[in-house]
């Protein structure tokens, strides 16, 4: 029975046909769906009005510089909060992961902290810290008078709780045999944590960490409720003064300019992590 070559050729031809048909279908359906959607929107009776109120080039051009200046504040706040969160969260995660009896009270505090902060809406924490702490009357002037500090602290608290849980999952995912191996070569518990477990845990949680940072990048806009004129607030002011929503579009574009590249980095990291895991399994 020597029909294999024919079979192979036929199979390959079928595969090619299938692939070709797949790309044709994809192209046609894209054109039909997207084109149809665009046609439907543009030909709708309200389109002109929507265009004027949401997509006005003039308003966009006029409001963009102010919104951009506000966005710069968002970016700075984001970067500082992110750095603080990365360090603090690791501390909280390590405290929650230790078994030392002496640390029980700290561990309890860390547990309560993460439970509360994760369960409460970010906006509420921003309000509470932003208006509540100054109301106590014990905070120093520099803190009271700068909403960026207060808002930053509120965001850092919330995201420290989220990120600590991500770290903790990462620490838990490192197999106990790694700890055993580290101890067996003569490292102390602390050295094992520092040189063996934490580096592996951090590597594994990079994709979920980036996800949290994408949401942080958007949540910095919540600090607006404390008064500073960041991008969203500037857009709101501008929109309120001439009854046109285009400035929001400008703000949204700026947020996307940061979050979309971040999202692509997440994708790439996740793919890399999958490849690496696959490789490890294969050996």
Partner 1 sequence: MSATVPVLEVRGVTKSYGDRAVLRGIDLEVGEHCAVALIGASGSGKSTLLRCIDLLEEIDDGDVFLDGEVITDPSCPAVGVRRRLGLVFQAFNLFPHLTVLQNVVLAPMRSHGVPRAEAEASARELLGRFGLEGREGDYPDRLSGGQQQRVAIVRALATRPRALLLDEVTSALDPELVGEVLSLVRGLKEQGMTMVIATHEMAFAREVADEVCFLHEGRVLERGDPARIFSAPEQPETRQFLRRVVETGRL
Partner 2 sequence: MPKIRRSILAVVLAAFATVALVACGDDDETASPTTETTALACEKADLALVTPGTLTVATDSPAFPPYVIDDDPTSGKGFESAVAYAIAEELGFTAEEVTWIRVPFNSTFAPGPKKFDFDLNQVSIKAERQKGADFSSPYYTTPQGVLVAGDSEFAGATTLTDLKDAQIGVQVGTTSLDAVNEVIAPGKQVRVFNDSNDVVRALKNGQVDAIVTDLPTTLYLRDAVVEGSTLVGQFEAPGGDDWGAVLEKDSELTPCVTAAVDSLRDSGELASITEQWIGAEAPVLALE
Which spans of this chain sit near partner 2 (rule: CB under 8 A)?
36-37, 40-41, 44-47, 49-50, 52-54, 131, 134-135, 141, 144-145, 147, 224-229, 233, 236-237, 240-241, 243
Task: Give me the least distance between CB of 244 and partner 1, in Å please.
Answer: 53
Cα–Cα distance for residue pair 29/225, rounded to 1 Å: 44
* Contact between 271 and partner 1 per CB under 8 A: no
Which one of residues 184, 256, 257, 271 is an interface residue with partner 1 (CB under 8 A)? 184
Binding at 145: pick from partner 1, partner 2, none (beta carbon under 5-8 Å per type) = partner 2
* Contact between 187 and partner 1 per CB under 8 A: yes
Binding at 131: pick from partner 2, partner 1, none (beta carbon under 5-8 Å per type) = partner 2
* Contact between 276 and partner 1 per CB under 8 A: yes
Task: Give me the least distance between CB of 97 and partner 1, in Å please.
Answer: 18
Q: Are 235 and 250 in contact (CB under 8 A)?
A: yes
DSSP track, the chain: ---HHHHHHHHHHHHHHHHHHHHHHHHHHHHHHHHHHHHHHHHSTTHHHHHHHH--HHHHHHHHHHHHHHHHHHHHHHHHHHHHHHHHHHHHHHHHH---GGGHHHHHHHHHHHHHHHHS-HHHHHHIIIIIHHHHT-S-HHHHT-HHHHHHHHHHHHHHHHHHHHHHHHHHHS-HHHHHHHHHTT--HHHHIIIIIHHHHHHHTHHHHHHHHHHHHHHGGGGGGGS---HHHHHHHHHHHHT--HHHHHHHHHHHHHHHHHHHHHHHHHHHHHHHHHHHHH-
Task: Give me the least distance between CB of 14 and partner 2, in Å please.
Answer: 29
Binding at 243: pick from partner 2, partner 1, none (beta carbon under 5-8 Å per type) = partner 2
Q: Are 225 and 127 in contact (CB under 8 A)?
A: yes
Between 26 and 184, CB nearer to partner 1: 184
Between 140 and 278, CB nearer to partner 2: 140
Between 33 and 184, CB nearer to partner 1: 184
Task: Give me the least distance between CB of 282 and partner 1, in Å please.
Answer: 9
Between 215 and 241, CB nearer to partner 2: 241
Task: Give me the least distance between CB of 33 and partner 1, in Å please.
Answer: 43
Q: Footprint of partner 1 on this chain (CB under 8 A)?
A: 177-178, 180-188, 191, 195-196, 199-200, 203, 276, 279-280, 283
């Amino acid at each position: 029975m020597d029909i294999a070559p024919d079979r192979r050729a036929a199979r390959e031809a079928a595969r090619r046909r299938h692939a070709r048909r797949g790309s044709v279908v994809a192209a046609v359906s894209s054109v039909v769906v997207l084109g149809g959607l665009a046609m439907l929107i543009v030909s709708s009776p309200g389109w002109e009005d929507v265009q004027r109120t949401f997509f006005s080039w003039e308003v966009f051009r006029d409001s963009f510089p102010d919104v951009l200046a506000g966005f710069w504040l968002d970016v700075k706040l984001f970067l500082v909060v992110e750095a603080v969160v990365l360090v603090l969260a690791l501390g909280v995660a390590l405290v929650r992961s230790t078994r030392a009896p002496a640390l029980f009270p700290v561990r309890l505090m860390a547990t309560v902290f993460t439970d509360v902060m994760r369960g409460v809406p970010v906006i509420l924490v921003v309000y509470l810290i932003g208006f509540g702490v100054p109301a106590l009357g014990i905070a120093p002037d520099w803190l009271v008078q700068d909403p960026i500090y207060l808002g930053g602290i509120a965001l850092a608290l919330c995201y420290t709780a989220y990120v600590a849980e991500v770290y903790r999952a990462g620490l838990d995912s490192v197999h106990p045999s790694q700890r055993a191996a580290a101890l067996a070569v003569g490292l102390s518990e602390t050295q094992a944590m520092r040189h063996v477990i934490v580096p592996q845990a951090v590597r594994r949680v990079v994709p979920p960490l980036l996800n949290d940072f994408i949401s942080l990048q958007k949540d910095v806009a919540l600090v607006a409720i404390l008064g500073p004129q960041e991008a969203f607030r500037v857009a709101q002011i501008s929109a309120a003064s001439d009854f046109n929503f285009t400035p929001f579009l400008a703000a949204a574009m700026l947020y996307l300019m940061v979050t979309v590249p971040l999202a692509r980095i997440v994708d790439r990291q996740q793919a890399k992590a999958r490849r690496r895991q696959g490789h490890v399994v294969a050996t």
